[in-house]
Structure 1
Amino acid sequence: MTTEDAVTAPGATEAAVSAAAVSEEAVDTVTRQAVDSLSATADPRLRDLLTALVRHLHAFARETRLTQAEWERAVGFLAATGQACTDTRQEFILLSDVLGLSMLVETVHGHSAPGTTESTVLGPFHLTKSPARELGDSIDLVGDGEPCVVSGRVRAADGTALPGAVVDVWQADPHGFYDVQRPDAQPPGNGRGLFTADTAGAFWFRTCLPGPYPIPTDGPVGTLLEACGRHPYRPAHIHFVAKADGHAPVTTHIFVAGGAHLDSDAVFAVKDSLVKDFIPTDDPCLAREFGVPNPFRHARFDLVLERA
């Protein structure tokens, strides 16, 4: 009840009005004191971030009338999220992803100059270093999926090739698992590769068609999704990070056109420009040239970088 409610409520007493006013003043005092305590923070950006965080957290608690039991449950959830993190699993990134925060930060700060590749989330599985590979190498070290070739160029928005650009790729296997999730079934580095574009800015590699998959649901984030009645699935995709001298790096995906969950990605990362055809190709000569069985899938994707 606000002070105004107490005043206008039928039968309101002076004591009720006074109690409401005191309560509101006490709440304001706590927030003011917490904000004031940050005034000596030496780093101005840190001071601004913490000040805004305190104000928004306090406003959330006031708006929702957060109870002590709810606060304790939230603290327990965050503690469990931290405890679920390992060298090969980042539950906090996963939490940020499913709340849309990762995509929001990427949208606010992502590179979206006209004609450049749109950015999207890094995801929680870029935890191990991709092995350096030669152009045309396969990142599929298991070979139990539909063969696929991905090719493209790294260039500037004006079409200028960016020779020597570095292209880092990683993906799930056809069953929807990354190498770090199933070390008993996938060798380290499966589905990963670090490629250097040629003098024309071109790159290409062999792989398998990735499958859609559920994000890990055996931890706190999975419990949260279940409580919200949300599914955990991501559409099939391949991750890219492209870098070139004098240009801003881009973190992005390509999504397999026509696949499931494109309209309900659990981490809100799908953008129309990143949905690409993985074209069924029946061409024995081209298959021999690429070094893949025929028929195969072929996806073409140019990475267009913004000047730094």
Structure 2
Amino acid sequence: MSLKFLMPLALAAAAITAAPAQAQEAAAPGPTDFDFNRDTVTVGAGGVYLSDYEGSNDYRFTAAPGAVGSIKGYGFIIAGNRFSVDLIRDKPGPVWDVQAGPIGVVNFNRSSLKSIDDPRVRALGKVDTAIELGGYVGIGKTGVITSDYDQLAATVSYRHDVAGAHDSGIWQPSVSYLTPLSTKMAVALFASAEHAGRGYATTYFSVSPTQTLASGLPTYNARSGWKNYSLGGLYTYALTGDLLHGFKIVAGGTYVRMLNGFADSPLVSVAGSRNQWLGAVGLAYTF
């Protein structure tokens, strides 16, 4: 599994660092105590527990960097192997927020045999690194349920491999909800799904007759379709300062369920599992 599943965590973290907290504790600061227009940039790194490849039942630890921020109202996210930029300027306060911009993913799935424990999957051979570029559109609302500062957003993205690794596209709708619990603490929930093209299915989930002889896995011809859905959550706590400045700890997890012909692939049904998990914990600093 590639680090692209860090994206929901990064999206939630971006919302957390961009939104002032409506405190629920005594003597909490009011809205006028925050500079809504102040630029913020958060940088950090963390440890990630994830599967060896997309669909694997073997797991490993790795490190991943990240950065999120808003400069002059324009947001950006760098999370491991993924980046995105919101080219529509945000407005402060409880308003509707239209989102649109470029997105890119460097897909390392099965590009290194050293990171794969299962000898049958290693025998299939490595896959070239994919460079997936595209864009996204979405809409969000600040001030929805719990306060003037909770956020609900829905987006749809599309990216296509331009490096010739799988030479196909991935559609990804997603929805996320964030609510601050105090000036130091916030939680987020998110859900998404992915629809992958024929090239993606063939590259990562098919098994050719030649590969069957090498690996012992049954021959399989994967097709395009809905590949998975994912559900996750994130928690952040400011160790110094508050959510808008200082050190903070961020922890989260994602459950991914493989679907349809992707789940029926021998890489999943024989050598792996339909159920995929990701956990991450890290330290970040907001300027």
Q: Structure 2-normalised TM-score?
A: 0.26
Which structure has greater strand proportion?
A: 2
Q: Greater CA radius of gyration, 1 or 2?
A: 1
Please give the TM-score of this superposition, normalised by the length of structure 1: 0.25
Q: Which has the higher helix share?
A: 1
